[in-house]
């Protein structure tokens, strides 16, 4: 059974700091990995998706890396802003029969990020 763990559970940083969120997964047979942002009481917003053959993806101030063999992904946020305050969720999609993807995502519990001015 795939298990996804996110560390730390919560993080509070001053504005402008660079930070790293960690995600680890137990089954390395993943199809892809997706990072999401969730604001309180809201749905999930997709931030980055990394295919299993990729090492990293970048979008603006966000950079996500993937080390499939060690079962780890990191989300790097540069020059953090108060508007980045949210819960960040990591989710993996397993490889299914024939090398295709299963439909479902397995999520970690999230990292609650607070960026204070």
Partner 1 sequence: DTGVSQNPRHKITKRGQNVTFRCDPISEHNRLYWYRQTLGQGPEFLTYFQNEAQLEKSRLLSDRFSAERPKGSFSTLEIQRTEQGDSAMYLCASSFPFGGYTEAFFGQGTRLTVV
Minimum CB separation from partner 1 for residue 43, in Å? 4
Selected binder of partner 1 within 66, 75, 77, 91 (CB under 8 A): 91
CB of 1 or CB of 117, closer to partner 1: 1
Which residues between 22 and 81 bind partner 1 (CB under 8 A)? 31-32, 34, 36, 41-46, 49, 51
Q: How many chain residues bind partner 1 (CB under 8 A)?
A: 27
Residue 57 exposed, middle or buried by CB count within 10 Å (0-12, 13-18, 19+): middle
For the chain, first and last CA: distance in Å?
A: 41
Name, in order, each residue with C-beta under 8 angstroms of 4's C-beta and a sequence gap of 6 or more: 23, 24, 25, 26, 90, 91, 92, 106, 107, 108
Minimum CB separation from partner 1 for residue 88, in Å? 11
Q: Stretches 57-65, 66-74, 76-84, 106-114: which one binds partner 1 (CB under 8 A)?
A: 106-114
Contact between 94 and partner 1 (CB under 8 A)? Answer: no
Binding site for partner 1 (CB under 8 A): 4, 31-32, 34, 36, 41-46, 49, 51, 89, 91, 93, 100-110
């Amino acid at each position: 059974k795939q298990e996804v763990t996110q560390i730390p559970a919560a993080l509070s940083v001053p504005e402008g700091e660079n930070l790293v969120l960690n995600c680890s997964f137990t089954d390395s047979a993943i199809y892809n990995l997706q990072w999401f942002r969730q604001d309180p009481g809201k749905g999930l917003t997709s931030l980055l998706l990394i295919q299993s053959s990729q090492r990293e993806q970048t979008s603006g101030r966000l950079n996500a890396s993937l080390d499939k063999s060690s079962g780890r992904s990191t989300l790097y946020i540069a020059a953090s802003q108060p508007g980045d305050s949210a819960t960040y969720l990591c989710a993996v999609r397993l490889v299914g029969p024939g090398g295709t993807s299963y439909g479902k995502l397995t999520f970690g519990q999230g990292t609650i990020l607070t960026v204070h001015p």
